[in-house]
A and B are shown apart, each in its own frame.
Chain A
């Protein structure tokens, strides 16, 4: 079955770090653009970052640039989002998606940043 499953969310204090994972099945990450998107409580969708199929090009929204890092392990077919220096405003559900305008989405993982 073709699917994406996120994990790694949780509760963290401001300034802390988390690493989110996105497990892909039914297709290879090395053949597709991959994307991270988040949704704050009762808010709309916010595009965060993407990575090209060969991993050579990465792009971020300014609000996370320098704090978040997108990466992947093609041998494990895993996409990651390393999140450092977390702030209260990073509290959201984080989704991974396939393609630049994602055609396939994971179910999301909740990240809560609070003292």
Chain B
């Protein structure tokens, strides 16, 4: 199975900050990576697919990059609604696997 890791596991940031979350796959997954945002008690929301493509309706402050084994999600100018947990997921090889999540909270 492909193992997904994320760093950091949590971070504290202020409104207006730029934050970057890293996701690493245990083997190459091409660009078969998605990013999700999850608010407490809610369903995940898709942000990015194919490593860098923005889902319809997602603001351009979210940027995904990377290929192979190393990927990043960057949120420019953090807003109150962005404080949440972020997950990456590989859909290159079965079983598809998620990273453990990165919790972004308010400093």
Q: Which residues of A contact B (CB under 8 A)?
A: 35, 37, 44-47, 50, 59-62, 95, 99-108
Contacts and interface: CB of A to CB of B under 8 A. Distances in A.
- Chain B contact-residue range equals 20 to 34
Contact of A107 (B43, B87, B89, B99): B43
Contacts, number: 54
A45 B89 contact: yes
Contact of A47 (B33, B55, B95, B100): B95
Indicate the member of A59, A103, A104 with the most B CB atoms within 10 Å: A103
A105 B46 contact: yes
Interface of B: 32-34, 36, 38, 43-46, 49, 55, 87, 89, 91, 94-101
B98 A47 contact: yes
Contacts of B87: 44-45
Contacts of B98: 37, 44-47
